[in-house]
Structure 1
């Protein structure tokens, strides 16, 4: 009886999860997007390599594909390297695309898939993103899978409908969730300076974890890292990081600045 009561208390304490978020290793990804050159990126990487980073936080930097080799050769080995995109097949007549095998050949271990800019600037469909996720995982790449609603969808009350539909297609293409991190990035908050409040972020992350419990498994719901992206800065990262179901960040513009170190250390 006492054991059951303790479990119930713990369950209430962490909201939708059975275990504290602290049990999930904090994850911070830096998405450099189409920015930088060798000189500026070398300076950035030197800053990261010499900074005091929380060793409890997993850090991954997503470099432009042309600089993947460069990033892997200069970054401290404890910092992971990601590509910002890949294609759904291993090779062929797909000018301008890169494959998971090429990414791994450059020493990178992660790829970002389904970013809102890929969805809304380049017109990638849920189906294509799902196919990319499947192929990347089959080739042993870690996947940072992005989901998120546009402003008009949030204002129409369709946030859950949109993010659950996007998550469903990703889930259909995942056999092993250990190499997946889910990034909730409300499109209206990316590069706009607008940030979801800690309460808004927590609400969506909590509902996503409930979705995973209902549609995948309790184990995945509890162990999957759900990170937040959308105008994360050194000023707002600590309050966001304090939310029970926010397990880290995918950072855009701020990942190119010294404040990225503060974001990595948001839990310290």
Structure 2
């Protein structure tokens, strides 16, 4: 039976002093009944891996390059992330798609690189407010899901996170019915491509203003297997509350 997943994305936040929050999280969750993933900025990955060496908490990254090495100044490859102990990498986050013009085809190339390096790819999907208001949400999800997942994708090497762009960091959250509709739709599309049993192996995360106050009701929604959490993952007390809601 697949384990649920609480994933934290620190984004471009955190210095060495911030690792005190990770230490606190480690002490709070010594034997969790769900998987826990923290993705700090690249500058903290090696230190975070060391802090979690004897903990069930996995450390991941927030992006990787599609190439294993080469003349790509400032970029970090999947093998480099694996080398310092990362176990996963977030790919296709809306902030990468929008700020860096990343396409779903590029996300798929990065996923291939992540898989080759033994990393779990956390592939993000989501629509803008204009797309939601234009009743295009499921069309957008269809296109992103189809183009972002390479052949060879499985529930073991890939997690899918639905993050409506208009809900990220805004305090706005879709209705439970809207969340359930998209998660059910993603599961059905996975079933069409990979087969029913294989589709059930994928963990589908919801992201977008997940907080301790709304976590329990979100986790009770159809086909929600966990969360990809932004701001609330920066504080151990807040993220711990979300983890406990997922364990309930």
| Same fold at TM > 0.5 | yes
Partner residue in 2 for 1:195: 173
Partner SS for 2:140: helix
Partners of 1:172 and 1:35 lie apart in 2 by 30
Partner residue in 2 for 1:83: 61
1:4-50 Cα distance to aligned partner (Å, 9 max, x none): xxxxxxxxxxxxxxxxxxx43110100001101111x2210121011
2:39 matched to 1:62?
yes
Shift in Å, 1:238: 0.3
Shift in Å, 1:57: 0.7
Note if contact 2:155-2:203 (Cα within 8 Å) is conserved in structure 1: no
1:213-245 Cα distance to aligned partner (Å, 9 max, x none): 122211222111100000000000000011130
2:127 matched to 1:138?
no
Shift in Å, 1:179: 1.4
Shift in Å, 1:53: 6.2
Note if contact 2:126-2:141 (Cα within 8 Å) is conserved in structure 1: yes
Partner residue in 1 for 2:244: 265
Note if contact 1:225-1:247 (Cα within 8 Å) is conserved in structure 2: yes
Q: Which of 93, 102, 116 matches 1:124?
A: 102
Q: Which of 98, 116, 141 matches 1:163?
A: 141
Partner SS for 2:156: helix
Partner residue in 2 for 1:50: 27
Partners of 2:243 and 2:83 lie apart in 1 by 27
1:33-89 Cα distance to aligned partner (Å, 9 max, x none): 1101111x2210121011146622100000111111011011253100001000001
Structure 2 unaligned segments of length 5 or more: list them: none
Larger Rg: 1
Shift in Å, 1:106: 0.7
Partners of 2:113 and 2:169 lie apart in 1 by 29
Partners of 1:171 and 1:46 lie apart in 2 by 34
Partners of 1:171 and 1:91 lie apart in 2 by 22
Aligned residue runs from structure 1 range 218-237, under 5 A: 218-237=196-215
Partner SS for 2:245: coil
Partner SS for 2:121: strand
Partners of 2:31 and 2:4 lie apart in 1 by 10
> What TM-score does the superposition give when structure 1 sets the normalisation length?
0.88
Partner residue in 2 for 1:241: 219
The runs of at least 4 aligned residues of structure 1 exceeding 6 Å deviation read none
> What TM-score does the superposition give when structure 2 sets the normalisation length?
0.95
Note if contact 1:143-1:180 (Cα within 8 Å) is conserved in structure 2: yes
Taking only aligned residues, the RMSD between alpha carbons, in angstroms, comes to 1.3
